[in-house]
Amino acid sequence: MNEDEYERKCFKISESYNGFDIGEEDQSEGEITYWRPDIDGLRIEACVNTTVDYKYFRYIRSKADDEYGKICRIRIDTPEYVYHKGDIILTKQELKEMINIFNSTRKFNNEAHNYWEWLNIDLWNCYKYYNGDQNKPIIPPMPDYSKLETSD
């Protein structure tokens, strides 16, 4: 597979995670908050859906960019999944790892925030891009995600 074919395949797979039929918008403006391409392909992405009155993010596990992975959608305001066709729920290990990620800190452009804060900033930036919201980002406390149902 040449580089152009690889890029097209990766783009097609990435696009497949968008739930256009449930109102999700394409976020080509930096929606990935956390990504481990070199380990296991885990991605946590901001997600814009202007047809619902709550915000959520996508948790995607994929071994390689050019292979389809599994996805789940999780609300920002309460420990609940947003189900869409084919979505999965987290394992106990993934849930524990997600909570640890959200509590860990990343420095970017001389600003240090934990990943929970970065996710909410990324969400705000995506919504700002789509609907021109000029308010400062609101960072709610992280819900008790340990209450999420797991698959094991």
Q: Where are the domains of the chain?
A: 3-147
Q: What is the pTM of this model?
A: 0.78
What pLDDT shows up at residue 29? Answer: 46
What pLDDT shows up at residue 68? Answer: 60
| Eight-class DSSP state of 137 | P
What pLDDT shows up at residue 16? Answer: 52
E strand intervals along the chain: 32-36, 42-47, 56-61, 70-75, 105-108, 111-114
What pLDDT shows up at residue 136? Answer: 73
What pLDDT shows up at residue 91? Answer: 93
Mean pLDDT by 10 residues, the chain (152 residues): 59 55 58 76 83 88 65 93 87 94 84 87 79 74 95 88
What pLDDT shows up at residue 43? Answer: 84
